[in-house]
Structure 1
């Protein structure tokens, strides 16, 4: 069974809502052939990444950058997964109350260096997520999961 790994840092109600929407989309009954694994960024390991067939990342934008937790995740898995993880499809979502450009750029830079392949456009939300934002998160999860079937 293909495995979708969701690596997230969820320190706020806004990010919790986005995370839950991604999980809901990825876990849609029509996608029952995909195993959805959720790991907090501070707990996810290279073993998790190497066992995954696709990945969704979730982070707040903190001072114009991805969260320290997601950065720690990348620091932990970068070299162990550099060769074996090339070609891994991924997507991501970012929440911020101000600028998110730096967080988006930093995720794109690291994942490009790892050889991961963008499988869906990122969901970037400023302020309180709207119903439309949460629907885009649902679609992100569903799109990445459907790509594994």
Structure 2
């Protein structure tokens, strides 16, 4: 398997987090962008840094993102310490609980946050809006693209 500098891991049920992850990957030349279901411990071990992109569901990290961490946590424990990470949370309201949960997992792995958390609020509050496909505003996609570029460049330059 070819080593990947930046690994972008995402989960999305309604398209918002996927659009943000793809925008980040467009900015991060050479990054590997994988759905959470496709991530293995080997992929995490081969990466130099991580961008986790996922939705907040019912005030928590989505089940598929959590399941990826559950599968990969112990095989990677003590083997990825100090590697940089950043996050993008797509939420219908504040996204803070999912962000906190993800940071606690990253703390256990001893990862190093290198960018402020990004939370994209879609303001979806009704069952219909929550379940509907999401369209992310261009300025937020640009923010994701810039974050991906900054992470990839920082890894390539040895800053992180």
Give the TM-score normalised by the residue count of structure 1: 0.89
Please state whether the residue corresponding to 1:148 is helix, strand or coil.
Answer: helix
Structure 1 residue ranges, 4+ long, deviating more than 4 angstroms after superposition: none
- Structure 1, unaligned stretches of length 5 or more? 28-34
Deviation at 1:12, TM superposition (A): 1.8
> In structure 1, how many angstroms separate the alpha carbons of the residues matched to 2:4 and 2:92?
35
Cross-structure match for 1:129? 136
Deviation at 1:103, TM superposition (A): 0.3
Deviation at 1:2, TM superposition (A): 5.3
Give the TM-score normalised by the residue count of structure 2: 0.83
- Structure 2, unaligned stretches of length 5 or more? 123-134
Cα contact 1:10–1:19 (8 A) shared by 2: no
What is the aligned length?
142
Name the larger-Rg structure: 2
Which aligned pairs between 1:24-63 and structure 2 lie closer than 5 A?
A: 24-27=26-29, 35-63=30-58
Cross-structure match for 2:73? 78
Which aligned pairs between 1:1-149 and structure 2 lie closer than 5 A?
A: 3-27=5-29, 35-127=30-122, 129-149=136-156
Cα contact 1:120–1:143 (8 A) shared by 2: no
CA RMSD of aligned residues (A): 1.4
> In structure 1, how many angstroms separate the alpha carbons of the residues matched to 2:36 and 2:26?
19
> In structure 2, how many angstroms separate the alpha carbons of the residues matched to 1:137 and 1:72?
24
